[in-house]
Amino acid sequence: MDLSQINPVLLVASLMVAATPLLLAAIGELVVEKAGVLNLGVEGMMIVGAITGFAISVETGSPWLGFLASAIGGALLSLLFVLLTQVALANQVASGLALTLFGLGLSALLGQGYVGIKPPGMAELDIPVLSDLPVVGPILFGHDPILYLGIALTAAVWAVLKYTRVGLILRAVGENHDAAHALGYKVVRIRILAILFGGACAGLGGAYISLIRVPQWTEGMTAGVGWIALALVVFASWKPWRVLLGAYLFGGVTVVQLNLQAAGVAIPVEYLAMSPYIITILMLVILSADKSRAPASLGRIFHASH
């Protein structure tokens, strides 16, 4: 066992990378749930985003186009959820589960020709002087742009929900859709936009795994991150900064346990592998002990006739 080979600076830098897919997917789902919709299809939208992003960036040679395509792919899949739950008024839980199963199958089909290929890389941020600083440089200024997008998105979602009228209306729709309708707000339209945003974010998160984190395509490579994202939103009490905190915690424990495995610590691998899930959930359960609660209309179907 040799713990000295673990470099703390690299550890922090890589935990941010490990956390980003989770953060992107969870922040999208947070907006969806704030609008009163429970979309359990996050895993499906992530994996579809992962393969569309991978395929497009391999075909075009541009990771930027790949990420754009992954957002579109995730949003397109969520459109299916829109049709089921907002137009046909189907049950949201069942529709979300179906979406995940469908997404997993579809991505396997689309990805058949892409196994074993290496995607084009995305240049990391390189700011003269700043990126070369010791410790701070690799942690704050040495990442790919999408990682910063994830943090920016968290800040933006927080600010929009808290300070803007759009955010207020979105929360109102999630809180009491009948009252929002009575005041003349377009409940269904607002929810559709929220679902599409959630789909695009999940798609981006998936592509981050296949293009940057791993980077390659294998079937089912999102490996449950979508489900963790769903749990994260709940345990983070629907608060954006707590989602960020939870995601980084999860990423951190993941990276640490990988390092411990590599260092040959005498703990069975299975325990190490499950530790990120347990620690994240435990931490967030403690944090969510305050009285904040779910949007009151979450998961309820809205009929405009009432």
Partner 1 sequence: MTTPLLSLQGLTKAYPGVVANDNVSFDIGEGEVHALLGENGAGKSTLVKMIYGLVKPDSGRMLLRGQPFAPPEPRAARADGIAMVFQHFSLFDALNVAENIALGMEDPPPMGSLASRIREVSETYGLPLDPYRTVGDLSAGERQRVEIIRCLLQDPKLLIMDEPTSVLTPQEVEILFETLKKLRSEGTSILYISHKLEEIRTLCDHATILRLGKNVGECVPAETSARDMAELMVGSALQTPERASRAFGEVALDIIGLSVPSPTEFGTSLRNVHLTVRKGEVLGIGGVAGNGQDELLGVLSGEILTEADAVKMAGQPVGRLGPTARRRLGLLSAPEERLGHAAAPDMSLTENALLTGSVRENLENRGFLKWAEARSFAERIIEAFDVRTPGPENAARSLSGGNLQKFVIGREVLQNPEVLVVNQPTWGVDAAAAAAIRQAILDLASKGAAVVCISQDLDELMEISDSFAALNEGRLSTPRPTAGLTVEEIGLMLGGAHGMEVAHV
- Residues near partner 1 (CB under 8 A) are 165, 168-169, 171-172, 175-176, 178-180, 182-185, 293, 295-296
Q: Report in angstroms how near the CB of residue 176 gets to partner 1 at its nearest.
A: 5
Long-range contacts of 269-278 (CB under 8 A, 24+ apart): 276/250, 277/228, 277/250
Q: Report in angstroms how near the CB of residue 195 gets to partner 1 at its nearest.
A: 21
DSSP 8-state assignment for residue 130 = G
Looking at the Cβ atoms of 46 and 172, the one nearer to partner 1 is: 172
Both tokens of residue 59?
């075909």
Looking at the Cβ atoms of 171 and 191, the one nearer to partner 1 is: 171
Q: Report in angstroms how near the CB of residue 164 gets to partner 1 at its nearest.
A: 11
Looking at the Cβ atoms of 87 and 304, the one nearer to partner 1 is: 304
Q: Report in angstroms how near the CB of residue 231 gets to partner 1 at its nearest.
A: 21
Q: Is 87 exposed, middle or buried (0-12, 13-18, 19+ CB in 10 A)?
A: exposed
Which among 267, 31, 47, 63 is positioned nearest to 158, based on CA atoms?
Answer: 31
* Cα(74)–Cα(178) distance, integer angstroms: 29
**E strands present in 11-161:** none
Q: Report in angstroms how near the CB of residue 191 gets to partner 1 at its nearest.
A: 16
Looking at the Cβ atoms of 2 and 290, the one nearer to partner 1 is: 290
Looking at the Cβ atoms of 143 and 177, the one nearer to partner 1 is: 177
